[in-house]
Structure formats: C-alpha cells, structure tokens
C-alpha cells in the first residue's frame, strides 16, 4: 500500500457507548446546561455521546419560549472503576436559525470545536463535534468527510439523531456532513460553512 498523501486523524473518537441520559444523570447534565445559559428553555433532546482525549461529550438541543433553538454540549471525565463522572463542563448558545425558517436545509446541524490536532508543518485541525438530525426520510448513517476522505461516521439513533467528532479546517479543507440510507446511497450533504460562503458571494 502506498504512503498516505494526507495525514489526518480518522475515527479518533470512540463510537457512542451509552443510551440517551435518563433519570438523575439526565437531571445532572440538564442542570449544567441550564446554569450555562441565562434564559429559560424547554425539554432537552440528547444526542449520542462521543469520547475523545479523555472526555465524553453529550450534545443537546432545546427550544426557548420564543421558539429559538438552544444548542450545547455537556462534557465530563468518564468514571473510574467504582466512581462517578466528574469535571462536568457545559457550553451552550442560542440561535434563531431553525429548520422551520430554512426549508432548503436537508440536515439540521450544530457544531462546537472541542480541541485541536497538530499535523504536518505546524498545521492544526479543529477537532469539531457535529450533531444533528436529517430533514429527509430514510437516513441510516451520517459521515464526516474532509477532502473526500471519511474521517468519522455514526449510525442514526431510533429517533434519527447522530453525533460526529472529526478534524475540520485543516490545510484549507473543511468538513462536509453526508447522510446515507441503509443501502449506502447518499441522501443529503451539508457543509458547516455553506451560509458563510453564500454571504461572501
């Protein structure tokens, strides 16, 4: 096999390990989210967890009373044997850019940079958590691709949610998120930067 032309971390995060949070654990994670945002919001939708670099990330979305979208991530250090998760930390924001206001969207995506990866010649990839839901039917697997190279993938949950953790913004290349059905046919693709590109044009 010839040498790799592009060295990037692929499938760096553990695949989802747990079911959606529930009970007291869900309450604890929710409290972290609510403490991080100074305005009220409703029921929380939890997305699949991903673990990377010693921390587990659990993304979430919710709606405010005026129907804006809250999106955020609670992260923590996984429990050692016989212990409990600790060092909980939440990052949360709110936006009025919702799927209802954007009928052209085929994927509803949120993202948060959670770290960096130093590559060749001092270039740094932004390790980015991406979570979302498809807005078209039939999806089975979501992938993250960088320069046409698959760098992560996630099977959709029963309620159609997925979480990816992948290198982005590396050597001039940017992530594309793609949705496939069970037969491997592409149903949708979105760039995290599409809106910015349109604004520049």
Where do we find the tokens 């079911």?
19
Q: What is the pTM of this model?
A: 0.93
CATH number for the domain whose boundaries are 104-201 = 2.60.40.10
pLDDT tens for the chain, 201 residues long, are 888 877 899 999 999 999 999 999 999 999 999 999 999 999 999 999 999 999 999 999 999 999 999 999 999 999 887 778 999 999 999 999 999 999 999 999 999 999 999 998 899 999 999 999 999 999 999 999 999 999 999 999 999 999 999 999 999 999 999 999 999 999 999 998 865 444 444
Residues 131 and 159: their CA atoms lie apart, in Å, by 13
Strand partners, 45: 61
Domain extents for the chain? 15-97, 104-201
> Topology of 15-97 in CATH?
Nuclear Transport Factor 2; Chain: A, (3.10.450)
């Amino acid at each position: 096999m010839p040498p790799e032309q592009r060295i990037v971390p692929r499938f760096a995060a553990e695949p989802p390990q747990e079911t959606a949070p529930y009970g007291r654990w869900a309450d604890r994670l929710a409290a972290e989210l609510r403490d991080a945002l100074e305005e009220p919001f409703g029921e929380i939708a939890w997305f699949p967890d991903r673990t990377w670099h010693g921390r587990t990330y659990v993304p979430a979305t919710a709606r405010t009373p005026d129907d804006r979208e809250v999106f955020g991530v609670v992260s923590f250090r996984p429990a050692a044997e016989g212990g409990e998760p600790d060092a909980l930390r939440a990052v949360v924001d709110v936006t009025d850019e919702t799927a209802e206001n954007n009928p052209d969207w085929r994927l509803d995506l949120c993202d948060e940079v959670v770290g960096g990866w130093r590559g060749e010649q001092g270039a740094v990839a932004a390790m980015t958590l991406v979570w979302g839901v498809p807005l078209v039917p039939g999806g089975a697997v979501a992938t993250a691709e960088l320069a046409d190279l698959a760098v992560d993938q996630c099977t959709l949950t029963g309620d159609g949610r997925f979480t990816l953790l992948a290198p982005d913004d590396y050597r001039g290349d940017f992530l594309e998120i793609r949705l496939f059905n069970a037969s491997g046919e592409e149903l949708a693709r979105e760039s995290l930067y599409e809106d910015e590109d349109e604004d520049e044009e």
